[in-house]
Amino acid sequence: MNTNRQIPGALGRRREPLTDTQLLLTITICIFIAMYILAMLVWGGGFLRPQQLFDMFNNNASLIIISCGLTIVMVAGGIDISVGGITALVVMSCVVHLDNFGGSIFTSVLLALGIGLAFGLVQGYLIAYLKIQPFIVTLAGMFFARGMTTVVSVEPHSAKHAGFLALKALRIEIPWLGYTAKNGNIIPGRLEIGVVIALAVVLLVFILLKWTKLGRNLYAVGGNPQSALMLGINVKRSRFYSYLISGLLAGIGGFVFLTHTGAGNATNATGAEMNAIASSIIGGTLLTGGVGNVIGTLFGVLTLTTIKSIVLASGLRDPWWQSITTGAMLCLFILLQSVVLAGRRKGRTRVRTAVPKRFRLQRKT
Amino acid sequence: MQNDVILSMRKISKAFPGVQALQDVDFTLRKGEIHALMGENGAGKSTLIKVLTGVYEKDAGRIDLAGVREDIVIKSPQEAQELGISTVYQEITLCPNLTVAENMYIGREKDTLVHWKQMVRQSGGILENLGIPARPKQQLASCSLAVQQMVAIARAIDMDCKVLILDEPTSSLDEKEVAMIFDLMRDLKARGVGILFVTHFLEQVYKVSDRITVLRNGELVGEYKTEDLPQVELVARMIGKKLDDLSVIHRKEISYDNGGTTAYEAADLSSDACPNPFSFRISKGEVNGFTGLLGSGRSECVRAIFGADKVSSGKVAVQGKPARIHKPKDAMKNGIGYLPEDRKVDGIIDDLSVRENIILALQVMRGFFKPYSRAEAEAFADEYIKALDIKTASADTPLKSLSGGNQQKVILARWLLTHPQYLILDEPTRGIDIGTKVEIQKLVLKLAQEGVSITFISSEIEEMLRTCSRLIVMRDRNIVGELRGSEITQDNVMQTIAKGAE
Amino acid sequence: MPGDLRKSARFKGKYTQLLVPIIAIAVLVIFNLIRDSSFFSIALTTNNDGNIVFTGNLISILNSASELAILAMGMTLVTSASGGQDISVGATAAIAGSVFVKVLRGGEITPLTIILGFLACCVVAVIFGAFNGALVAVFDIQPMIATLILFTCGRSIAYWINGGATPTVSDPIIKAIGGFIPGIPIPTPVFIVILCSLVFALLFRFTNLGFYTQAVGINQKAARLNGISSTGIKLLAFIILGVCVAVAGCIRTSRLGLINHETILSGIEMDAILAVAIGGNALSGGKFRMAGSVIGAYAIQALTTTLYAMKVSSTEIQAYKAVVIILLVVIGSPVVKDAAARFWARHARKTRLSL
């Protein structure tokens, strides 16, 4: 906290204390790096190869994209649990469109975006303008999307469209980050096309949240809707846009999912919404809104994946360990957030917070 | 001088159903002046401000703003802002999760993109200019409350305001922080901004203000230059008696029970909300009062007695025996009842029925596993609805559909039903009609005769004079005096409050 | 007098709360009767075990809604006290069922081991409920987020308990619990629901559970100043929900005769929340009527059964349900209500003018 009460101009280029968003982001990145280094030291092997990192991106490109959407919604103080369902619906619709209706890649991308936007539009309107609880609306959205997925097709579908298969097989090769196989061949680092899209989305959402009026309004709305209103922000419209963008990103995420798996299945992206929420939380997005960063969300996804890899590497090969550790991490981060931020707030305001004293950290001034 | 006037409000009237909140009130604000608006609760201060900021529409009267067309009508806070009338409220209406610079500019930039550098530079300039110890890139929440208030003021200033309304900006700040706000206010004054300042702290009024306008019961008492109005007279005007009249008033005969047994005693009691330890005792059948202006700490003291806030130190004895009172239930078990100051927030459970609200406290004392039967509860409720003449369609009516006075009676009934030995009534008569007020006062005296000890707090000092046999006088969160028996006169109370600073 | 009007409207509101779910059921009944007049016919048949039992859609609705009804009861309490919902009930029920099966498979199945198994699974479910409750009551985390933890990993814990298998239990007593007791033609789960309702009725009659929960849910501060521990009440609500989860888990396990951690009671948390909402209870907490939630549960099951009877596949049902939910909440949203009230007011004025 600010200790010297000088006139700011005289301060020169003094480093600012971290904002809540930055603090949580730093914690996440530190934990991720520490964990990854630990994994490299203890288990070596795959963790030493850049391809391990690349595979994390390859396998999670769509999760990264839908988590970005969720981060936006959560920053604005809402929640969207329909994203997994939308992803599944998009995947199935696109596959069926490509194979059975002779669609092109272009039209299937349009289809994906259209489905996402439609969900975002309806959900956003219901939540922002009709003031219905976001949980209920997006829950219904999830039900609807999952149900519609099976209406589109109950049977699993594999894409046979030639152009699409070429797109799916497309790899971006980075020779200098490859490794030498046992037979002496150099195997270059490989990134899928989806990763490029995912990173582009992260960049765009970062710009949106950091540099645009809408983005900053979202933070204000999530931080304190009442104040935001008093400061002259259109709270309803901001909320509406957050769901709209989330729906759109779920659509893109669905298409990227398809480029990774190449097949549509009614159970696709099961639980993706909860993984996305968990990633956002681990990445330092506050459940109560107003605090969060999309870079953190990216690291949140990577952290979750790293944990899973570590669990595998450490010999806990039983399938249940991954999700139990995910749950434990989630619990840890939720408590950490609650305690750290309560501690931060303690020194600042004399408003009594609900967190009991013994759980608050003392802040030195 | 007349040219200096930037805002003049003439014959402003505003009525709410059943209440005339403002009656022909005049208010004048001059350029480069800090003008304090004073009055006790319900005097009409906040109504006047809300008329000015467009929250309410006035029924009659005219508002003239220098430089703008005459006789303006203000319909919304947004419109008021555009006319150059900015308000900084007691609760900070900024976003704590954003930076200082953003808080100054958000919601009023036209561009789609945020120009961080420009924003930071501009806000840095304003902050420096006004001498506000905050850096533009700092998160607002990491600033002290005082600095947050100042940022809110800076935002208002940057929006080119001519009239700045500060509605109790200092009520949650400590002395140092208050001094910082005052420096800023004086600075603004020098720049020619007219400041309307509302506070409950007398001392602060005398520190910064140039003029004082006093309101009482929705009517204008007068406008004075600060140096012409001694503190005692200010208090007298706020409370409503001219100094000459005060000595004439005779207290009603209530014997001060000096030899009575001690019902409750506290030594060096303090709580989170009431940090300065105080000692206190009350005898059986005694009615005492905590007096002092709003914000003097009187409510916090009685909350500490009841354990409503976290008790941090002190020894307590009930009926001569040491007791441990750390949470409300402890107090209830020791026969203490507490009618809270803020009925809406702390008292009523609005969706539940009158019956359930009445039996709540008694039920809690009886225990979780021993609920009253419907018949028993109904009997209790009916008894007290009759005894206190609560006007309700039935005992099953949800409490929220009752009027304020009847809601208050329900809460009173809740505590009477527990047959407390010591009853704390914090502002039991606030916001209720005169008839009910008198009923409650009579009830207090009747209970005292039956042997109940009562602490009575009211903003209306006459009520206290009529009922209390001992008055503890508070000022700025400290006990500054105690008046007994014949010492209790308005004159003395005011003298004690006014002298308390020394 | 507008005040009187408002009063009478509220007075009516108290009784109309149950009307929504009842009307929902009534609409479904009429719809089904028109569609197929034999929809509600009940027949006495002999089932595979040689018991003479009632069969028919009505019995099927009553039977299959049992778990949902029990969970909805617990969910109502949690919703009222905390103003939020527990989304981990399905996952915790999987854990409870796994514990139940684990104990039963430990040795010979006797009535004693069944009781032991049930107690063990109650204890486990209560522990998990208390974990959720502590996060909500002590750390003040939003219920949905706090229970997200167990929602994420609960089913894996169940998987772990089973050691990666989907073990079966077959025993006449278990069959009797999940199906029919020989000689009684009505499914046992229906009796368990009645028993649970009785227990809740007794709890509300002989303790202040309902009173305190509503007080905390409506005004936490005022409840505290009257000596009610809001932390304790919220914790208690989650613990009671834990017991409900244990009962529901045991019923479903007995019904199927096996535990599949992935599928057992999956998605039931959403149905339970829906039942609470359809029952006319505010999801933001406060006043509640448990009967509403129970009727809501049967309404949901009636809808499901109707859709099944219309040959809608089990996965597509979700889409229809979603539409029903959205219709319900849109009708119930304050904005729409206000708009409707304004519309009627204008309409009324117009007719008065024209008269």
Distance CA C125, CA B496 (A): 63
Q: Which of residues 218-277 of B touch A (CB under 8 A)?
A: 272
Burial of residue B219 (number of CB atoms within 10 Å: 0-12, 13-18, 19+): middle
Give me the pLDDT at residue A346, please: 57
- pLDDT at position A262 over 70: yes
Number of alpha carbons in the 13 Å side-chain half-sphere of residue C128: 33
Residues of chain A with C-beta less than 8 angstroms from the C-beta of C336: 130
Does B109 lie at the interface with A, CB-CB under 8 angstroms? yes
B69 contacts B229 by C-beta, under 8 angstroms: no
Band of residue B451 on the pLDDT scale cut at 50, 70, 90 = confident
Which of A138, A139, A153 has the highest number of chain C CBs within 10 A, making it the mutation to test binding with C? A139
Residues of chain B with C-beta less than 8 angstroms from the C-beta of A12: none
What backbone phi and psi angles, to 5 degrees, belong to B328? -50, -40
Residue B97 or C71, more confident:
C71
Q: Which of A139, A266, A334 sits opposite C145 (nearest CB)?
A: A334
In the CATH scheme, what is the homologous superfamily, with its name and number, of domain B2-244? P-loop containing nucleotide triphosphate hydrolases (3.40.50.300)
| Domain boundaries along the sequence of chain B | 2-244, 256-335+420-502, 343-419
Residues of chain C with C-beta less than 8 angstroms from the C-beta of B340: 222, 225
Residues of chain B with C-beta less than 8 angstroms from the C-beta of C220: none
- pLDDT at position A4 over 80: no
Burial of residue C346 (number of CB atoms within 10 Å: 0-12, 13-18, 19+): exposed
- pLDDT at position B295 over 70: no
Give me the pLDDT at residue C352, please: 67
Number of alpha carbons in the 13 Å side-chain half-sphere of residue C217: 28
Asked if A355 and C333 come within 8 Å (Cβ–Cβ), the reply is no
CATH of domain B256-335+420-502: 3.40.50.300
- C169: CB partners within 8 A, 6+ apart: C101, C104, C105, C109, C253, C254, C257, C258
Band of residue B80 on the pLDDT scale cut at 50, 70, 90 = confident
- pLDDT at position B77 over 60: yes
- pLDDT at position B491 over 70: yes
- pLDDT at position B265 over 60: yes
Q: What is the pLDDT of residues A150-178, one digit of tens each?
A: 889 888 888 888 888 888 888 888 777 77
Quote the percentage of chain A above a pLDDT of 90. 35
Residues of chain C with C-beta less than 8 angstroms from the C-beta of B351: 214, 218, 286-287
Shortest CA gap C11–chain A (Å): 25
Give me the pLDDT at residue A340, please: 77
Asked if B345 and C286 come within 8 Å (Cβ–Cβ), the reply is no
First to last CA, chain C: 22
Residues of chain C with C-beta less than 8 angstroms from the C-beta of A130: 330, 333, 335-336
First to last CA, chain A: 6
Asked if B94 and A6 come within 8 Å (Cβ–Cβ), the reply is no
Shortest CA gap B191–chain A (Å): 19
Phi-psi region of B389 (alpha: psi -120 to 50; beta: other; left: phi over 0): left
Alpha helices in C17-88 (DSSP H): 19-35, 57-64, 66-82
A76 contacts A291 by C-beta, under 8 angstroms: no
- What kind of fold does domain A50-309+323-339 have according to CATH? ABC transporter involved in vitamin B12 uptake, BtuC (1.10.3470)
Does C318 lie at the interface with A, CB-CB under 8 angstroms? yes
Q: Which of C144, C151, C156 sits opposite A320 (nearest CB)?
A: C156
Residues of chain C with C-beta less than 8 angstroms from the C-beta of B363: 208, 211
| Rounded mean pLDDT, B301-306 | 90
Alpha helices in B159-256 (DSSP H): 175-190, 202-208, 231-239, 243-246
In chain C, which stretches have pLDDT less than 50? 1-13
Does C154 lie at the interface with A, CB-CB under 8 angstroms? yes
Which of A320, A325, A332, A333 has the highest number of chain C CBs within 10 A, making it the mutation to test binding with C? A320
Give me the pLDDT at residue B241, please: 56
- A150: CB partners within 8 A, 6+ apart: A266, C313, C315, C316
Asked if C316 and A151 come within 8 Å (Cβ–Cβ), the reply is yes
Give me the pLDDT at residue C181, please: 86
> Could you tell me the sign of the dihedral formed by the alpha carbons of C247, C252, C257, C259, in that order?
negative
Does C107 lie at the interface with B, CB-CB under 8 angstroms? no
Give me the pLDDT at residue B250, please: 36
| Rounded mean pLDDT, B78-87 | 80
Does C227 lie at the interface with B, CB-CB under 8 angstroms? yes
> Could you tell me the sign of the dihedral formed by the alpha carbons of C170, C174, C177, C178, in that order?
negative
Give me the pLDDT at residue A343, please: 72
Q: What angle do CA A263, A266, A272 make, to 5 degrees?
A: 90
Residues of chain A with C-beta less than 8 angstroms from the C-beta of C333: 130-132
Residue tagged 């903003």 (tokens) = B459
- B244: CB partners within 8 A, 6+ apart: none
- pLDDT at position B396 over 80: yes
Closest Cα in chain C to B343:
C222
Residue A5 or C40, more confident:
C40
Shortest CA gap C39–chain A (Å): 25
Q: What is the pLDDT of residues A39-98, one digit of tens each?
A: 888 887 777 777 888 888 999 999 999 999 999 999 999 999 899 999 999 999 999 998
Asked if A147 and C150 come within 8 Å (Cβ–Cβ), the reply is no
Give one DSSP letter per residue of B262-286, joined into a string.
EEEEEEEEEESS--S-EEEEEETT-
Residues of chain B with C-beta less than 8 angstroms from the C-beta of C3: 401
The pairing of beta strand B60-65 with beta strand B34-38: unpaired
Quote the percentage of chain B above a pLDDT of 90. 18
Does B356 lie at the interface with C, CB-CB under 8 angstroms? yes
> Could you tell me the sign of the dihedral formed by the alpha carbons of B319, B322, B327, B330, in that order?
negative
Residue B128 or C332, more confident:
B128
Q: Which of B345, B360, B393 sits opposite C215 (nearest CB)?
A: B360
Give me the pLDDT at residue B56, please: 83
Give me the pLDDT at residue C21, please: 77
Residues of chain A with C-beta less than 8 angstroms from the C-beta of C137: none
Asked if A220 and B135 come within 8 Å (Cβ–Cβ), the reply is no
Asked if A139 and C270 come within 8 Å (Cβ–Cβ), the reply is yes
Residues of chain A with C-beta less than 8 angstroms from the C-beta of B108: 231-232
- pLDDT at position A365 over 80: no
Q: Which of B306, B351, B364 sits opposite C286 (nearest CB)?
A: B351
Give me the pLDDT at residue B335, please: 92
Give one DSSP letter per residue of C133-168, joined into a string.
HHHHHTS---HHHHHHHHHHHHHHHHHHHTTT---B
What backbone phi and psi angles, to 5 degrees, belong to A83? -60, -40
- pLDDT at position A302 over 80: yes
Q: Angle, nearest 10°, between helix axes A272-282 and C143-161? A: 120
Q: Which of A136, A325, A334 sits opposite C277 (nearest CB)?
A: A136
Does B134 lie at the interface with A, CB-CB under 8 angstroms? yes
- pLDDT at position B70 over 80: no
Band of residue B85 on the pLDDT scale cut at 50, 70, 90 = confident
Residues of chain C with C-beta less than 8 angstroms from the C-beta of B327: 224, 227
Give me the pLDDT at residue B172, please: 63
Asked if C227 and B348 come within 8 Å (Cβ–Cβ), the reply is no
Residue A352 or B181, more confident:
B181
Burial of residue B142 (number of CB atoms within 10 Å: 0-12, 13-18, 19+): buried
Does B420 lie at the interface with C, CB-CB under 8 angstroms? no
Class (C level, CATH) for C2-311: mainly alpha
Q: Which of A130, A140, A328 sits opposite C325 (nearest CB)?
A: A140
Give me the pLDDT at residue B433, please: 63
Asked if C153 and A328 come within 8 Å (Cβ–Cβ), the reply is yes
- pLDDT at position B483 over 90: no
Structure token pair of residue C321: 């349900």
Distance CA B366, CA B417 (A): 12
Residues of chain B with C-beta less than 8 angstroms from the C-beta of A231: 93-95, 103, 106-108
| Domain boundaries along the sequence of chain C | 2-311
Q: How many CB atoms sit inside 10 A of residue C155's CB?
A: 28
First to last CA, chain B: 36
Residue C182 or B71, more confident:
C182
Asked if A130 and C151 come within 8 Å (Cβ–Cβ), the reply is no
Residue B260 or B116, more confident:
B116
**Chains touching B by CB (3 or more pairs below 8 Å):** A, C
Which of C226, C230, C231, C239 has the highest number of chain B CBs within 10 A, making it the mutation to test binding with B? C226
Distance CA B35, CA B188 (A): 13
Residues of chain B with C-beta less than 8 angstroms from the C-beta of A8: 124, 127-128, 132-136
Give me the pLDDT at residue A3, please: 38
Q: Which of B102, B107, B309 sits opposite A232 (nearest CB)?
A: B107
B–C interface: beta-carbon pairs under 8 A: 78
Burial of residue C1 (number of CB atoms within 10 Å: 0-12, 13-18, 19+): exposed
